Structure 1
């Protein structure tokens, strides 16, 4: 689905009926480039850390399940491009609230890098003892991605699965509690901004 050409009602209907929507051109090429510069800055500052699994109280690192590197974004991102992206996501959240009869109130997100060989095994995003993640999103920043580069988002549905290519500017948006998904092993550097729309404000330690 093309984000620029689609109505908010069409996006909401796809989420309600299929629990997932893929939006192309959510970001322009100029916006992608600006976000990539922010990635480069934080990579040079060595701000990315090995990702883990579980929430604050059950957190662990297991590279047999997940081997990407992440950097959590604060309430006030330090780069204009990151701040603009957060505002864009918050605006989408506000638009979807009345259409889907939700009470989404906040966003948490991080930068994610998958170096060659990195992957994330099959999982859902909502924690067993913390159900505040309602909608998940991943926005891709991979200029020039082509078949064979890996890093596809694999969506599992009853009876099979399908893959979503991590094309620059594309946003994947799906239910956090029901949509099982994985990230296929990357063959080249794969970058995305990944996050969740929550039904409560963030006033507790973030960990994932």
Structure 2
């Protein structure tokens, strides 16, 4: 009997549970209150506690395009933070960025020099092939298929080397641009950080 009285007393002493109250704006623009959420979509739906404080509020519904844009912004911000952190960990002063730039440019220039030497060798070979063709034409003989194929290969190789040289020149420009951007950002980050 004693346990029953304690149980009844405990139940009576518990604060009364009030069902949540919902607040929203209906399609006419009027604020509505109810103990049940409205059916369908409504503006500014919020769940209030018994004191009238907001427990939960629905965030504005975003369209798929808006969600994608928001996600892209978040990814870009994360990437920017990651890049800034890597920049600060990689360099201790701006001059180090210049040194790295110069080493990268030197490596590309060495590749350019190699490709120029290759190009000269291919041009020399192509000239020899053309001289053979001219000798054959003077003697009114047919140009063999393998010689013509060799000329075609030489021409293609020269075109490929020219494209590669152009790409390497562009790479040098990109290295300079990237280094300038990194240096500028590094200086900005160092000026913001406490020493």
TM-score by length of 2: 0.21
Higher strand proportion: 1
Q: Which has the higher contact order (CA 8 A, sep 6+)?
A: 1
* Structure exhibiting the larger radius of gyration computed from Cα positions: 2
TM-score by length of 1: 0.20
